[in-house]
Amino acid sequence: MNIAIGCDHAGYELKDKIKAHLSEQGHAFDDKGTNGPESVDYPDFAHAVARDVHDGKVDLGILICGSAQGVAMTANKHQQVRAAVVWNNEIAQLSRQHNNANVICLPARFLEEKDMLSCVETFTKTVFEGGRHERRVGKISC
């Protein structure tokens, strides 16, 4: 699977750990940054990931910021992007199964590394159920 990944200064260390973990499973990444602790503007990185998802250049997106709210709000401005704030495995699974989420947004300041890795793994392995959910997902975009 090809994945675009991006973060702000709150998530750059976790971004590299997620990439290493998922690379072991054969996933490829388009890293949109940031790559250091200097303060940056999260929309720059969220838009870059969301554009790649919207344009079909990647299968999924991963975004990380302090609360995950800012990157989710930004990514969801793009048509065809369904960004979900995820804080546990059940939410990761349901966001894919029922909402066909294609971007996972993770709160760096509120999740332990092991929990974040588990959520990302669940997100990447779960497929959209379709069926009754397809109609609902079709009503999301304006």
Whether the bond between 34 and the residue before it is cis, its omega within 30 degrees of 0, is: yes
Is 65 in the active site? yes
What is the pLDDT, as a whole number, of residue 90? 98
pLDDT at 122 over 90: yes
Catalytic residue among 7, 65, 105, 119: 65
Instruction: Write down all domains in the chain, each with its CATH number in brackets.
Output: 2-137 (3.40.1400.10)
What is the pLDDT, as a whole number, of residue 103? 98
| Confidence class for position 76, pLDDT limits 50, 70, 90 | very high
What's the rounded mean pLDDT across residues 87-114?
A: 97
Whether residue 44 contacts residue 19, with contact meaning beta carbons closer than 8 Å, is answered with no
Is 98 in the active site? yes
What's the rounded mean pLDDT across residues 112-141?
A: 95
What's the rounded mean pLDDT across residues 81-93?
A: 98
What's the rounded mean pLDDT across residues 3-21?
A: 96
What is the pLDDT, as a whole number, of residue 78? 97
Whether residue 5 contacts residue 19, with contact meaning beta carbons closer than 8 Å, is answered with yes
What is the pLDDT, as a whole number, of residue 113? 95
Sequence-ordered list of residues with C-beta below 8 angstroms from that of 63, at least 6 positions apart, any chain: 5, 6, 7, 45, 46, 49, 71, 72, 75, 83, 103, 104, 105, 106
Q: Which helix (H) or strand (E) holds 7?
A: strand 2-7
> What are the structure tokens assigned to 117, written together?
């890795």
Which DSSP category does 56 fall into? Answer: T
| Confidence class for position 142, pLDDT limits 50, 70, 90 | confident
What is the pLDDT, as a whole number, of residue 141? 86
